[in-house]
Amino acid sequence: MHSIPFEHGLILAGVLFVLGLIGVLTRRNVVFVLMSLEIMLNACGLAFVVSSARWQHADGQIMFLMILTLAAAEVAVGLGLIIQMYRRYHTVDLNVLTQMKG
């Protein structure tokens, strides 16, 4: 069997997570922010699968399935919010939403 250094997988997950974080912090388009959140969730799932491979146990993959479910629900609700925001304000600029009272 081949072997892969455990920490290389975790480093990849960390770098992907930070890239997603930079996307969330710097973008103003709400669609891009949601995509960056997806990148971050995916990086978390990668870390769990790497741990699953490290200890040769199925639990990490179970956790990845839970993250997948969470991401699906989050994207559905988030995209619904984006559609509603576009209907009301005709923009996808996050800075327009500075007050709660619509």
Partner 1 sequence: MILLFYLAATVALISTVAVILQSDVVHALIYLILSLLAVAVIFYTLGAPFAAMLEAIVYAGAIMVLFLFVIMMLNLGKRSRQQEKSWIQRRVWIGPVILAGVLLAQLLNVLVQQGTDVAVVEVGVRAVGLSLFGPYVLAVEIASILLLAGLVGAYHLAKK
- For binding to partner 1 (CB under 8 A), which residues are involved? 1-12, 14-16, 18-23, 25-29, 31-32, 34-36, 38-39, 42, 45-46, 49-50, 52-54, 56-59, 61-62, 64-66, 68-77, 79-84, 86-87, 92-93
Q: Which is nearer to partner 1, 83 or 97 (CB)?
A: 83
Q: Phi, psi at residue 63, to the nearest 5°?
A: -65, -40
To the nearest whole angstrom, how small is the minimum distance from the Cβ of residue 66 to partner 1?
6
Structure tokens that stand for 39 in this block: 């990148």
User: Is-contact 66 45, C-beta < 8 A?
Assistant: no
To the nearest whole angstrom, how small is the minimum distance from the Cβ of residue 56 to partner 1?
5
To the nearest whole angstrom, how small is the minimum distance from the Cβ of residue 97 to partner 1?
15
d(CA 25, CA 100): 21
Nearest 5°: the CA angle 25, 97, 69 is 60
